[in-house]
Amino acid sequence: MKKPLVSPLDRNANKETAEMADFYQETLGFTPNSLFTMMHRPRIAYAFMEMNKAVMENKGRVTSGLKRLLAYLSSMTAGCRYCEAHAIRAAERYGSEQDKINHIWEYKTYPAFTDAERVVFDFAIAASTVPNSVTDEIADNLRKHWDEGEIVEILGVVALFGYLNRWNDSMGTQLEEPAAEDGVKFLGVKGWNRGKHEY
């Protein structure tokens, strides 16, 4: 795209944008341009922030690191390079093992991944495909390793990133430099680039 569909607000545009910027400074190290774009309609931004907090809350076995890796695979499946970079940056910041980050594309066979993680990733990819390709076999495999509350958490991440993938690819959100650097660092070996998110 020649430019983003809508320009993000400046972090100091008003009290609300400044407060939001402070929150994300702690979680990602910067505030995503996507949030500054949503702030053109603050209720959308606040609703997203609340959903993000609820979905990414660590309840136990579906760890913060696992959630970020499945967010990456979901975004990769959808083709959103902006969200791929954000998810892989968050994976490192929220405790994903470096070995798993480096071999996420080989999750089906790489020994660092457990069977329980493999079924999560199979599900994330199938649930992120259009049309949806979750089958009885994938669902049964997921149920073997995860209880219903955990499955709700897992699908919550896929659904949250489905929203973000649509938002950022349609908006052509400009990728922030820290996320771009991590995209190159962790994903460049697989051909990742900024795509439409570079201006």
Whether the predicted pLDDT of 27 surpasses 80: no
Sign of torsion over alpha carbons 87, 90, 95, 101: positive
| Dist. CA 7–CA 108, nearest whole Å | 40
- pTM of the predicted model as reported, rounded to 2 decimal places: 0.94
Neighbours of 195 (CB within 10 A): 16
Least confident of 31-40, 75-84, 127-136: 31-40
Q: Which domains does the chain have, with CATH numbers?
A: 61-194 (1.20.1290.10)
**pLDDT tens digits along 45-85:** 999 999 999 999 988 899 999 999 999 999 999 999 999 99
Q: How many CB atoms lie within 10 A of CB 86?
A: 28
pLDDT at 26 over 80: no
- Could you tell me how far CA 104 lies from the centroid of its own chain? 14
